Amino acid sequence: MHVMKPRLHVTCTDRRSPLAQRRRVVGALVALGVGTLLPAAPSFPQGKPFLTRAIPSSGEALPVVGLGSWITFNVGNDRVARDSCAEVMRNFFDAGGRMIDSSPMYGSSQDVIGYGLQKLGKPPRTFSADKVWIASGSAGRAQIEKSRERWGVPRFDLVAVHNLLSWEEHLPTLFAMKAAGQIRYVGVTTSEGRRLKEIEEIMRRQPLDFVQVSYSAVERDVEARILPVARDRGIAVVINRPFREGALIRSVKRQPLPSWASEADCANWAEFLLKFIVSHPAVVCAIPATTSVAHVRENMGACLGRLPDDAMRRRMAAHVEQL
């Protein structure tokens, strides 16, 4: 068993552009292992390495587990629940987490994240990932600005087009915002295996930094096309719904964790399922959502220790499918 390292990025079709050249340089560094297991910011008593992956377009390292907010952070004005979400965020940051993901579609989630960030003193390592989700392209900027105010951050790190809604209109706006320094990265998202063909086309034609899709041990459609294209094009992949909204982990938890899971330093099912995902070399991070402090700690455990190799990944997938 050994820790996997991503392979060299294949050259982009627009390789003459400065962006593509930078991606090639960063890709080469990543291939050499630089940025794959970058030094951990937090300290962990276990003494295990803290796993990060480099964003291909910049080389910036991100912990392999982030925090989603779909359903879990939509608690409205409930002060008790908001404080509980802030505790989840506190434990997430304490464990070295960086990327928090939301969308204007997620009800009050953006406000709740803003509340949590304010309460926690605006942790400087926060990687803010949000989306634009509105049919009218001309209304995109205003929506992003409103979202930014709800988060209470000076600017978003990543803004993606949510579920490809009006992506033809939104992407030029996002690229212009990136050029102006108003956001740092641009992406597109989908979930549950929808519109993958269209996503692939966009990935091939647009200079995206990120793509967000669903992927798990039992939902592996993206392995065939999306993940290889992401590697070829130097696009960071973020994985949503890694536990299929909790259904997958509830299902496997009825069974004991296989003893061989310890070979990849998996102490529980959350680490098992997440390490399967983040050990794919195209994946930069997975963003499970939770309302539980215990669960966020378990999830962040997947940032520690060894990752499974190809043979073990196949074994993990087969085992979960069999369950």
Q: How far apart are CA 157 and CA 181, in angstroms?
A: 10
Q: Which listed range, 34-42, 114-122, 191-199, 207-215, lies at the site for other proteins (CB under 8 A)?
A: 191-199
99 forms beta bridges with 127
Query: 77 is written with which tokens?
Result: 């004005």
Alpha carbon separation from 152 to 93, 113, 117, 132, 190 (Å, rounded): 17, 9, 8, 17, 26
- Closest to other proteins by CB, 267 vs 293, is 293
Q: How far apart are CA 4 and CA 279, in angstroms?
A: 7
- Closest to other proteins by CB, 215 vs 272, is 215
Are 156 and 101 within 8 A, CB to CB? no
Q: Is 76 in the site for other proteins (CB under 8 A)?
A: yes
Q: Is 293 in the site for other proteins (CB under 8 A)?
A: no
- Closest to other proteins by CB, 194 vs 314, is 194
- Closest to other proteins by CB, 30 vs 199, is 199
Number of residues in contact with other proteins under rule CB under 8 A: 18
Q: Please, what is the minimum distance in Å from the beta carbon of residue 264 to other proteins? A: 31
Region label for 96, one of left (φ > 0), alpha (ψ between -120 and 50) or beta (otherwise)? left
- Position among 11, 21, 58, 291 found at the interface with other proteins (CB under 8 A): 291
Are 113 and 100 within 8 A, CB to CB? yes
- Position among 83, 168, 192, 223 found at the interface with other proteins (CB under 8 A): 192
Q: Please, what is the minimum distance in Å from the beta carbon of residue 73 to other proteins? A: 10
- Position among 36, 52, 57, 72 found at the interface with other proteins (CB under 8 A): 72
Residue 148: CB atoms within 10 Å: 20
* Geometric angle at alpha carbon 75, from 188 and 102, rounded to 5°: 15
Are 62 and 285 within 8 A, CB to CB? yes
- Position among 10, 19, 34, 81 found at the interface with other proteins (CB under 8 A): 81
Q: Is 105 in the site for other proteins (CB under 8 A)?
A: yes
Q: Which listed range, 76-84, 135-143, 258-266, 271-279, lies at the site for other proteins (CB under 8 A)?
A: 76-84
Residue 160 backbone dihedrals phi, psi, to 5 degrees: -120, 155
Q: Is 57 in the site for other proteins (CB under 8 A)?
A: no
- Closest to other proteins by CB, 52 vs 69, is 69
Q: Which listed range, 66-74, 169-177, 225-233, 293-301, lies at the site for other proteins (CB under 8 A)?
A: 66-74
Q: Is 77 in the site for other proteins (CB under 8 A)?
A: yes
The single residue listed with the structure tokens 């404080």 is 83
Region label for 79, one of left (φ > 0), alpha (ψ between -120 and 50) or beta (otherwise)? alpha
- Closest to other proteins by CB, 155 vs 220, is 220
Q: Which residues bind other proteins (CB under 8 A)?
A: 71-72, 74-78, 81, 105-108, 192-195, 245, 291
